[in-house]
Chains A and B, each alone.
Chain A
Amino acid sequence: MYRRYGPALLRKCERMLKNRADAEDVVQTLFADLLYKGQIDEDLPYLYRAATNRCLNLMRDRKRRATLLEREEPCLTPPRTRCEERLLDLDLVTRLAASLDKKSAEILVYRFVDDLTQDEIAELLGTSRKTVGKKLNKIRAEVRRLAELDGGA
């Protein structure tokens, strides 16, 4: 399971944390805990979600947030811009992820960092597309508010 899914989770966490070493910490700890619980046959969507929450926990750490941008490193994966969200900046997203409630932060990451569709997010969270859409509308408003604040500074 580690060999098969480890690389995908490392890439995913690296996109969120912008730091390979931190991503390695998260992924290894995740697999350690899974083993401890006897969970040795999980699929990628489950692991993806578990890794997302652990990365978010790390980002919520105040000290971590303070250093997040300073430690930014070139990301392996090429930049992509979602056509409908061109105005959103990844830094804003990651900053916001640290202050949102748990579920909203998770949705934010899936949508703006991992590029999941609303249907994919709904399936991953076991909720309805409508619920995801409502959350995203609130998140977008908050992201734009933050962007405007930064722009006015």
Chain B
Amino acid sequence: MSLHCSGEPVSWLRLERYHLGELPEQERVELTAHLKGCEACRASLEAIEGDDRALPPLPTTESAPRESWLGNLFGPRWAPVLAAAAAVLLAVVLAPELERGDLPPSRITLKGGDLAISLVRERDGVVVEDPEAYRPGDRLQVRLTCPEKREPTRWDVVVFQAGETLFPLADPQPLRCGNKVMLPGAFRLTGGAPAAVCLIVGEELPARAELGGSGLAGLPRNAVCALLAPAPR
């Protein structure tokens, strides 16, 4: 289908500004008159007005105003950009067992691109990207971002919580890098302590037993972490 405008079609930018009520009065009046006689432009405006698709899913908040503010303003894609600062703050406030200096950021720069971790939380059928809080029973999955040019590499997920070191997923497996590659497997957290979910990537990973003994200090350089705080009751 192709609609032919009778003259110069109104630009999408002008239609968007019209829709937002941001056009100067004279332009608004002129455009209103144009729309009455131009089927194509009218259809375009109707498409804008009828576009009720939601913005990309944003992190929701259980309590913390900080999470709500960040989530509503930025969205999940950039939460990793800011997560390092947020994680450090949360670590200090909520997780005395997670020392500020010991927790790697959620995104680091490697040769050829970034390495990043992001989480997906499912609770009662509701999926939230980049959550900052969890409740016991929440289903969690890990997404990996790493430079696509890298050869298939090995990865592992390790969780540090209340002095324990946990390996919730299957043994390390080769994986080709990409943008937000969903790692196979899901896990749930229990208890009420903050948890650092860390992703380590490399051809040679530290042995789980070894890492279990050393805790956060044993993380290699190619490690990124997301911090989950327990949601208040």
Q: Pick the residue among B4, B11, B44, B74 that contacts A116 (CB under 8 A).
A: B11
Inter-subunit contact A116/B13 (CB<8 Å): yes
How far, in Å, is B123 (CB) from chain A's closest CB? Answer: 22
For chain B, the count of residues having a C-beta within 8 Å of the partner chain is: 39
A113 to chain B, nearest CB (A): 8
Q: How far is the CA of A76 from the CA of B48 in the complex (A)?
A: 9
Residues A80 and B55 in contact in the complex (CB < 8 Å), given A24-B77, A35-B73? no
- Residue-wise, chain A 27-47 has the 8 Å CB interface mask toward B (1 for contact) of 111011001100000011100
- Produce 1/0 per residue, B1-38, CB < 8 A to A: 11111111111111011011010000000000000000
Q: Count contacts between A and B, CB distance < 8 Å.
A: 116
CA of A102 to CA of B51 in the docked complex: distance in angstroms? 30
CA gap between A15 and B72 in the complex, in Å: 25
The one of B3, B13, B16, B81 that contacts A120, using a Cβ cutoff of 8 Å: B13
Contact A115/B78 with A10-B55, A24-B56, A44-B20 known, Cβ cut-off 8 Å: no
Whether A141 sits at the interface, judged by CB under 8 Å, is no
Asked whether, in the complex, the Cβ of B22 is within 8 Å of the Cβ of A44, the reply is yes
Q: Do A44 and B13 touch (CB < 8 A)?
A: yes
CB distance from B48 to the nearest CB of A (A): 7
Do A120 and B11 touch (CB < 8 A)? yes
Given A78-B43, A81-B3, A83-B4, A32 contacting B13 (CB threshold 8 A): no
Q: A44-B17, A78-B44 are in contact. Are A31 and B74 (CB under 8 A)?
A: yes
Closest residue of chain B to A111 (Cβ to Cβ) is: B11
Size category of the A interface is 35 or more
Let me know if B74 and A115 touch, CB within 8 A. no
Chain A's interface: helix, strand, loop or mixed, by majority? helix
**Contact among A12, A25, A115 for B9, CB-based, below 8 A:** A115
CA distance A25 to B56 in the complex (A): 9
| B47 close to A (CB within 8 Å) | yes
CA distance A3 to B6 in the complex (A): 33
Are the CB atoms of A45 and B13 closer together than 8 Å? yes
> Contacts A11-B48, A15-B12; is A79 near B77 (CB within 8 Å)?
no
In the bound complex, do residue B75 and residue A114 qualify as a contact, i.e. CB atoms below 8 Å apart? Answer: no
Give the distance in Å from the alpha carbon of A32 to the alpha carbon of B19 in the complex.
25
- Let me know if B56 and A28 touch, CB within 8 A: yes
Provide the B176-193 mask, 1 if CB < 8 A to any CB of A, else 0. 000100000000000000
Interface residues of A in 66-116 (CB under 8 A from B): 76-83, 110, 114-116
User: Which residues of chain B come closer than 8 Å to A10, judged between CB atoms?
Assistant: 53, 55
* Pairwise interchain contact B73-A117, C-beta atoms closer than 8 A: no
Distance of A133 from chain B, by nearest CB (Å): 15
Q: 5 tightest CB-CB pairs across the interface, nearest first?
A: A32-B78, A28-B77, A8-B16, A116-B11, A115-B11
Q: Beyond the given A2-B72, A31-B73, could you list 7 further A-B residue pairs with CB under 8 A, ordered by the A residue number?
A: A24-B56, A32-B82, A35-B78, A43-B22, A80-B9, A80-B43, A110-B11
